[in-house]
Structure 1
Amino acid sequence: MARPEPQDDPLGKALMRRALFPRRNQPVRIGRYTVLKLLGEGGMGVVYACFDDQLDRKIAVKILHLARVRDPELSRARLMREAQAMARLSHPNIVTAFEVGQTGEQVYVAMEFIRGLTLDAWCAQPRKWREVVAAFVQAGRGLEAAHRAGLVHRDFKPQNVMIDEDGRVKVLDFGLARGQDSAEEAPPEPPPENSGALLQRALTRTGVMLGTPAYMPPEQRAGLPASAASDQFSFCAALYQCLYGGLPFATDGFGVRIEDVLAGNIIPPPSRSPVPSRVFKALRRGLMAAPADRFASMTELLVVLQRDPAAIYRRVGALLGTAAVAGGVGIYFAGGSTLAPCPDAHAELAGIWDEDRAGVVREAVRATGSPRADEVLDLALPEVERYADEWTRMRNEACVAHALGQQSAQLFDQRTSCLDQRRASLAATVDAIGAAEAEKIDELRAAVGRLPPLDSCADFTALTAAMPPPSDPLLRVRVQKHREALARAQVYEHTGQKDRGLEIVGEVLADAEAVAYEPLQAEAYLRRGSLEMQGGDSAAAEKSFDAALWAALATGHGPVAAQTSSRRGFLHAVRLQRPAQALADLPFITALNRRVQHDVELYSEYLNYAGAIHLSGDDWAEALKLSEQAVALREQHGRLATPQGIGMLFNVGLIHREEGRYEQAHPILLRAIALSDEILGRQQAERTLFEVVLALNYQNLGRPRAALEVLRPVVRDIDGIASKEYRKLALAVAGMIELADEDAAAARRDLEAARRASPEHFNFLYWLELMRATAIEGDAAAMQAAHDAALALVARPLDLHDFYYQDFLLAHGRALASLGRTREAIEALETAKGALVEATAARDIRRRAAIALELGKRRARLGELDLAEQALQAARQDYDQVLSPRNLERADVRLALGELALQRGNFATASHWSAEAASIYGAVAEPDYTPLARARFASARAATGTADSAPPAAREAAEQALSALRARSRADEVRAVESWLAEHR
């Protein structure tokens, strides 16, 4: 088949055939779209109304009018460029492009169908001047958005603007749009198929004039590159025509006289025109011949056009009252116009968050098949809705404040730039929710909770102090787009999509011209380092953080310098295990962060990381102080009920727990879990970690029943936990609690189940617990296997000053004693104790006391009573030095001293220590806690002494002990108490 000549128009002929032969059944199609009718023709293209069968909607399709162009290839490239220009823009005042395609020799663009009038037809009807200005301001917002995206329309005129039935104004026909930084050189080679760079290709030679002469600025007539100022000239010419009924410059029958344009000879407005002189003055400035003499931007021009002093005085109260209105209601300045100079900003979230998008997201999450789908949707989507509403309110508020002249153009730009980045974060978060996989669903609600706070975009002090954008307008646009990309990368960091985040950061850093603006470079390296740290590549993260820090310091980018220093310090202290370096850097880190104390997110993060650095140096008191400050700061500003705040609160509970302050830790842990349930849901994965720590804390308070009650549902539904590591954790901790409660068989069962569930996560501590459980059961071979496995996990050679080795010796001593190898046990324990003789740190003192307590029990078992008492008294002194009064470890050593005194026949001493032990146990433990029962029985024996009958109080204590021991199924001890009671009636 011969290729059609350029003058052929296959689609036009097809439509003609359908008109001549109406009975023909086959519809005419453009790609997958069914043609309904011709809408209009322009110099290069034809626009048809079409129907999209797949999406069941009416659309408009623009196709080249090849019969009217000399160079079809060039025209195809222009149409392709129009589609790319429109696709780069997402704004309520710009027509939306859906698709660009090619059918045969024809290139087409599918775009939204607008029911309404072109602006020239709308203006031809009688209109109040305020209505006309309001309509043009909406069109100006579209041009403003194009300029922010680096595009110039180059052919703005009333015929290229539509007003729909709802009064919304849309700019269309970006066929001549070009990137503002695109030089107009010689004609290019034919573009490659699917080229994505047409906007940066020159399609005209220097000196070739494109556009409509009546609205064309002099620089464009001269064939010079067009700019945003060129669009401003065309906009003012069109507005002048619609306000005053004619063009602003005299014509000679063929076109506007260029000499009048160059001389600035603007025709004065009609003498009785109701249009205020201030509007004419604004238009006159926008129509200046030299681009530099016009307004600095469309934004500045629109502010002047909207400033109506009389209307402001009349309506300021009502206007401020409507500034926060959303949901399709515009913000009105004067009169009864349905055209709003500040249209509701919710339209800017179209496709990001609206009713249709919400429906798609719901279906996608439910399609994962996750049992948590509905819970996540119920928690996450209302929060997304609130965020979107607040974003809309703030965008509307910024527009109104700027329009009233209450904020400078610079501050307005800073606010909108901040809000644009927040919108990018919202878009990426919604995309992450919609693309979630079942195993990732737990991260979605947390990701919503980690959306950057919007109130920072209204913090005028922070905005004023922020890094100013680049002075070059084209570079400013590119930097803003990259910042929005980095906002998306941050969302990928929060949703565990490290590779996607790093890919985005790589694209930003590849733009050498943009990252020559060092503040952007610092932001990109900070994001890359954070992603690398999350992914476990600590060496790479260190290099990225270094690059971010030096770039931020060089440019005075305070927030980035502060956050980078905090994360870099945490990396050194915890991930790279270089606490000395982190502690040495801490004054520097603190100084940088004191400069951003007003930023709650940054400063609370610093306090949290500084606490971690102090922990790495074993300064637990300072770590607790800083962590509590972080929690208080967030709570003061209403940001505790967030994933970050919950994590910080949980850290405070953990520090109290690790320091042995279990009573103080308990309400904090419970509060963290309650907040987590409220914000993140009861079934989210992190809750397993919270429950495990809470269960351990119950055990440390002498409440093993409560501990196992917390864990029992988790262990029962162990296969429902997505994370293998958390499955292991729940099972292993259940085993540890059962072992502490002297149920070795159950402990061994759960510990071995934990090892099978996640062998790669079965760590040193769990092997020690399994070593003890198997020893209690008398399985020497299994005990030795666990012993060897534990040592094999420690990569470095162990010495006596290594706490791993001290813990190992303590566990091994207990295991040997359970096997009846008491002498070997004492030898291991004495070795461990020898390494801690000079200990001064609280944690080392507690470890020394635990070893001494175990030594005292074992020596007492061998009858070495003096040595046993020495060890037990040393343990008591150490515990009393570092633990709170009601800590059960203090009770444990007092019970051991009481039983030793009974063994020696020293009943008064036994009574003293047993009573103290029972008092501590009774204050915090469960009523049937086994050590409490033993303390009561020891008190009864001490009170009775060698007498044949027991006092009533002693018998009552023994009866209580018997009841508890029966409840705990302690058969041997039950028989001993029953025998004693029988002897002492």
Structure 2
Amino acid sequence: MPGAPQDDKTRVEAPPRDDRDSDLPRRIGRFHVLGRLGAGAQGRVLLGYDADLNRRVAIKLLRGSGGAEERDRMRREAQALALLSHPNVVQVYEVGEYADTLFLAMEYVSGSTLHAWVKQHGLREIVGVYLQAGRGLAAAHSAGLVHRDFKPLNAMIGKDGRVRVMDFGLARGELATRSPEENTVMRSATAVLWSGVTEAGSLMGTPAYMAPEHWNGEAVDARTDQFAFCVALWEGVYGERPYAGKTTEDFRAAILGNRRREPPAGAKVPSWLRQVLERGMSGDPAQRWPSMAALLAELESGTPRRRRRFAAAALLGVAGVIAGSRVYDGWRAQWQADACHAAGQEVVTQWEAARPGIEAAFVATDPDGGGRTFARATAFVERFAADWAAARSKLCMLPHIDARWTPELVARADECLVETRSSLESTLGRFAAIDGRAIQHAIVAASALPLPGPCVDPAYLARQPPPPADEQLRAEVLRMRQALRQVRTLGATGRFKEGLAEIRHLVEEADTLGWRPLAALARFDAARFAGDTGDLELARVWLEEAMVLAAETGQDALLAGIVTNLTDVVGVRQARHEEGARWGKLAQAMVVAQGDAESTRGTPTLNVLALLNLDRGQLDEAERLLQKMLEIDMRELGADDLAIAGTLNNLGNVYSRRDRLDDARLSYERALATFERILGPEHPDVALALGNLARVSLSRDALDDAERYSLRALAIREQTAGPESVEAAWAQQDLGNVYLARGEAAKALELLERAAVSTAKALGSEHPEVAFALLSLGDLHLERRDLEKAQRFYTRALGILEASRGLDHLDNAWAITGLGEIALIRGRAAEATRRFERAEQLFAANERPRDAAKARFALARARWLKKATRAEARALALAAAEELTALGAAADRAQIDAWLAETD
């Protein structure tokens, strides 16, 4: 019996190939070749189809990649790029060898290059798409990658409006041996690796975008990419490149001599934007912006500054303002804009100062993987810093250009930004003193930093409870809200017990303060810590208290979150399904009433409802909710967000329950790949997907795969949560079941007993997870023919499951089947028949055709005990054999054939 899974694909046919493509290979690796996208002198870019993941891919096929050392180096860099998951970086799916050459399978983007796109769009749109491209470069830099050849031809904007940077310099070793002149005309095999999927064989190392250090043969780094980015954006907004030239020598002389031409006459580009780009194109890398994140923050803060200048110009035209006043007011507007920009840079500066010490702490804590973890976490921190800087600068200017921004509204927005900044400060403090357990949560902690943008959204602020009128009380409330945000970072870094102890005091402080909206929020946060430490009853009590307080104070958004969490704690985690379903209906109604049913703000409720329906055996509804959630998240977050991985994992659980094992395996593998790319190979969520893959492999009788997945999951669980944790118990149980299937009873017994004890200690003796551990022990003792022990374990497990999940739940069928086997061995035909009939009903009702057929065979063996029903028994066995053949279950069919031969 496989343990419970731990929390759509549509097949498409390949289009017919063109006759002109007859010389193309039919397959490259696991990819079907559909046709050609382009070709260079010595390489091709092909359109491919990945049948496993139902998607088109661009396959870059090299016709001569040098020796083995060169191929190995290029493969390592491609694999490093594949670990980078960001919506603005084209995704590398796979790198491999084909016909003595190298290929890369990459995301296929249908759209146009920025080179073509900018010709049809205005200034604001151009800056917007380049901000996306810049975020892709910044994410790559955080992961330790440098592009080395950024230009408008190497970024595409898809039909979805999303920009992808592509063609990172995977073969810089070969390019380093070439002169710039050679690079300008190079159409070699390696050039195909950089070309866009619609522009194979494009020029490599275009001189117009190369920084001085690149020309001089010096080391290139992220600042080199910044130079190229600013050249490209200058070209986009001005319609011409900043450095004139027709030949390689022209460009070399212009760039090394810092001979930048003046913008074309009449260009409507604000001076602030020109100044930003000129700094990014400084000849000395040290004089450029500190990082791409800093440059992007500057560009983003420029938009409100520009609006301020337009507003200032209008104000200066008011009748009665003398000429001297105009000069003074214009100077004051400039001063105001610069001051606002400087205020926004505080967080960027804070991060830049803290970064070296934090990186050292990560590496010291984990010499092998700390640097990689730090790089992944850094991408989220830099995104937060850039977003906060833009929001803070915007808020500084808003009162001057928008009459809605009264002093009171500005004060509330400022308090919101102070709160969000406290989350960053607390997270950075935790990172600076990081330990071995917390480092496993570092990436999730960084990704959980709050979004600053809503702080400057009047609609969002209007939904928040108004602050106290008393200034002293208002200051205390702000201090407490900051403290709550700081405690949340303890949860984000996995320090749940410490966080629970601290938040208990904050609940008491909030009650003493007497401001009821704060008391509601404190209880909501406290309930999450209680749930994370396993005290589900305390979590329920705090949530119910928070619900009353939130309702009294009109906090509708908080109230919806509270009720959603009640659905989870009561309905899913305490397995009180009917009560949980009532909370779930209320949560769903609140989400609809707030207009969040089709946005990511509503997907947490969809997820909890799906898990509840999965537990209740209502699989159609569970699958519908998860598919809807996947559609919303894909639309708003992109394909490689952590939320997508979680949804894929839960969809795999539904498929597994439905015995759709191929679909379940595919869904789990997709979740695993995303978890590994974003979180790294040793993260607990990676173990989650590995455990589910182990169970699917066990159900498919792929015992070697099941053992491999289980061993890796166990190593992660023991390292991150401890050998006695419930998380380790899950992996111990999976591995024990593998050994049981192999007949290695002694090894299985040790693991399964440890798992049962740890689970009961952590979750209580009546929890369904304990029942799963007992079922495995029942299976083991049945295998050893210790029928007394087996009966005790099955009976106890069945009692827990019926009490927690109801009489008609699928999970009951495993215990009932075990008890039926014991009755069969003891010759109790009537009892065995009754048990197997009930198991068959449960399997059939829950869409488990393979298990239903096996139960039918068990029923045949029970009826064989009576001579009067032996003909019926053989008929049942034959019918079960035919069903298993249709399902492809050859091993199960072989057991029936052997039995039929014995009873003939």
Q: Is the pair's TM-score, using the shorter chain for normalization, greater than 0.5?
A: yes
Partner of 2:649: 650
Residues of 1 paired with 2:771 and 2:574: CA distance? 20
Asked whether the equivalents of residues 756 and 774 of structure 2 are also in contact (C-alpha less than 8 Å), the reply is no
Q: Tell me the CA shift for residue 482 of structure 1.
A: 2.1
Match of residue 874 from structure 2: 869
| CA displacement at 1:573 relative to structure 2 | 0.9
Equivalence map 1:134-145=2 (5 Å): none
Corresponding residue of 1:31: none
Kindly report which structure 2 residues correspond to 1:90-239, keeping only aligned pairs within 5 A, or say none: none
Deviations 1:102-128 (A, max 9, x none): xxxxxxxxxxxxxxxxxxxxxxxxxxx
Moved more, 619-628 or 641-650: 641-650
Residues 649 and 383 of structure 1: CA distance in aligned 2, closer, same or farther (over 3 Å): same
Q: Partners of 2:530 and 2:720 in 1: how far apart?
A: 26
Q: Deviations over 1:418-456 (max 9, x none)?
A: 322221221222222223321332122221122223343
Task: Name the TM-score, length of structure 2 as normaliser.
Answer: 0.56
In the alignment, is the contact (CA less than 8 A) between 2:823 and 2:831 conserved in 1? no
Query: Equivalents in 2 of 1:581, 1:455: separation in Å?
Result: 37
Deviates more, 1:502-511 or 1:580-589: 502-511
Change in 2 beyond 3 A, CA 1:786/1:495: farther
Superposed displacement of residue 365, structure 1: 3.0
Residue 843 (str. 1) matches residue 846 (str. 2): yes
Correspondent of 2:817 among 799, 803, 810: 810
Report the Cα distance in structure 1 between the residues aligned to 2:698 and 2:755, rounded to whole angstroms.
24
- Tell me the amino acid that sits aligned with residue 729 of structure 1: W
Shift of 1:810: 2.0
Counterparts of residues 533-612 of structure 1 (less than 5 Å)? 533-598=531-596, 600-612=599-611
Quick one: structure 1 residues 464 and 719, their matched pair in 2 at CA, closer, same or farther if it must change by over 3 Å? Answer: closer
Which residue number in structure 1 is paired with residue 681 of structure 2? Answer: 682
Secondary structure at 1:669's aligned position in 2? helix
TM-score by length of 1: 0.51
Which residue identity does 2:363 align to in structure 1?
R
Deviations 1:683-742 (A, max 9, x none): 1123222112112223334543433343455568886565324444334323423544xx
- Secondary structure of 1:654's counterpart equals helix
- Once residues 683 and 374 of structure 2 are traced to their aligned partners in structure 1, the CA distance between those partners, rounded to angstroms, is 13
* Aligned mates of 2:865, 2:895 — CA distance in 1: 11
1:444 and 2:408 equivalent?
no
State the partner residue of 2:475. 477
Give 1:391's aligned amino acid. W
Partner residue in 2 for 1:378? 375
Tell me: CA distance 1:721–1:401, structure 2 relative to 1, closer, same or farther (3 Å).
closer
Shift of 1:415: 3.4
Q: CA deviation at 1:591?
A: 1.5
Q: Which region of structure 1 is more displaced relative to structure 2, 536-545 or 653-662?
A: 536-545
Query: Taking structure 1 as reference, are residues 773 and 550 closer, same or farther at Cα in structure 2, changes over 3 Å only?
Result: closer
Change (3 A) 1:721 1:341: closer
Closer, same or farther: CA 887–712 of 1 in aligned 2, 3 Å: farther
Check whether the contact 1:695–1:708 (CA below 8 A) recurs between aligned residues. yes
AA matched with 1:737: V
Change (3 A) 1:892 1:328: closer
Deviations 1:811-837 (A, max 9, x none): 3554787xxx4735x565324235468
Q: How far, CA to CA, are the matches of 2:509 and 2:715 in structure 1?
A: 53
C-alpha contact 2:480 2:510 (8 A) present in aligned 1: no
Find the aligned partners of 1:754 and 1:370 in 2 and give their Cα distance. 34
Which residues of 2 match residues 749-788 of structure 1 at below 5 A?
Answer: 749-756=747-754, 759-761=757-759, 763-773=770-780, 776=783, 779-781=784-786, 784-785=788-789, 787-788=791-792
Q: Tell me how far 1:892 sits from its aligned partner.
A: 6.9
Deviation, 1:539, is 2.6
The 3 A distance-change label for structure 1 pair 487 and 376 is: same
Aligned equivalents of 2:752, 2:584: Cα separation in 1:
39
User: Structure 1 residues 844, 638: CA separation in 2 closer, same or farther (over 3 Å shift)?
Assistant: closer
More RCO (CA 8 Å, sep 6+): 2
CA distance in 2, matches of 1:719, 1:546: 34
What RMSD, in angstroms, separates the aligned Cα atoms of the two structures? 4.2
Post-superposition CA distance 1:356-383 (Å, at most 9, x none): 4222223333343575433322221232
Q: Which amino acid aligns with 2:549?
A: A
Give the structure 1 partner of residue 464 of structure 2: 466
Residue-by-residue CA offset, 1:634-680 (whole Å, 9 max, x unaligned): 22111664544432331121111112122222222111111101111
Mark the CA change 1:797 to 1:729 in structure 2 (over 3 Å): closer, same or farther. closer
Aligned 8 A contact 2:439 2:493 in 1: no
Map of 1:304 onto structure 2: none
The share of aligned pairs that are identical, in percent, is 19
Matched, 1:634 2:641: no
**Out of 426, 429, 432, which is 1:428 matched to?**
426
SS in 2 for 1:744: coil
For residues 315 and 512 of structure 1, the distance between their equivalents in structure 2, rounded to whole angstroms, comes to 54
Q: Does the C-alpha gap of structure 1 residues 391 and 737 become closer, same or farther in structure 2, counting only changes over 3 Å?
A: same
Distance change in 2, residues 1:492/1:718 (3 Å): closer
Q: What is the distance in 2 between the residues matched to 1:594 and 1:717? A: 40
| More displaced 10-residue stretch of structure 1: 678-687 or 723-732 | 723-732
Q: Give the direction of change, closer, same or farther, for the CA distance of 1:707–1:465 in structure 2 (3 Å limit).
A: same
- The worse-fitting range, judged by mean Cα deviation, of 597-606 and 651-660 is 597-606
In 2, Cα distance between the equivalents of 1:649 and 1:566? 20
Return closer, same or farther for 1:514/1:896 CA change in 2, 3 Å cut-off: same
The more displaced of 473-482 and 501-510 is: 501-510
Could you list the per-position Cα deviations for residues 25-50 of structure 1 after superposition, in whole angstroms to 9, with x for gaps in the alignment? xxxxxxxxxxxxxxxxxxxxxxxxxx
CA-to-aligned-CA distance 1:454-476 (integer Å, 9 cap, x gap) = 34335443334433333444433
1:733 is matched with 734
Counterpart position of 1:853: 857
Q: Which amino acid aligns with 2:499?
A: G
Aligned to 1:520: 518
Q: CA deviation at 1:567?
A: 0.7
Shift of 1:561: 0.9
Q: Give 1:338 shift.
A: 7.9
Larger radius of gyration: 1
Question: Quick one: structure 1 residues 591 and 851, their matched pair in 2 at CA, closer, same or farther if it must change by over 3 Å?
Answer: same
1:605 Cα deviation (Å)? 0.8
Distance 1:798 1:341, change over 3 A: closer
- Cα distance in 2 for partners of 1:718, 1:519 equals 38
For residues 566 and 876 of structure 1, what CA distance do their matches in structure 2 show?
45
Distance in 1 (CA, whole Å) between partners of 2:423 and 2:375 is 20
Aligned residues: 575
Q: Which residue of 1 aligns with 2:246?
A: none
Query: What are structure 2's unaligned runs of at least 5 residues?
Result: 1-266, 277-293, 310-329, 761-769
Is the CA contact 1:532–1:538 (under 8 Å) kept in the aligned structure 2?
A: yes
Aligned to 1:361: 358
Q: Output the CA distance in 2 between the equivalents of 1:802 and 1:621.
A: 16
2:696 is the counterpart of 1:693? no
2-structure distance, mates of 1:550, 1:387? 33
Gaps of 5+ in 1: 1-313, 906-985
How far apart, CA to CA, are the structure 1 residues paired with 2:509 and 2:739?
A: 59
Partner amino acid, structure 2, of 1:869 = R
Q: Which amino acid aligns with 2:675?
A: S
Change beyond 3 A, Cα 1:513–1:806? closer
Counterpart-to-counterpart distance in 2, 1:572 and 1:756? 27
Report the equivalent of 1:829. 832
Change (3 A) 1:767 1:873: same
Assess if the C-alpha contact under 8 Å between 2:774 and 2:797 holds in 1.
no
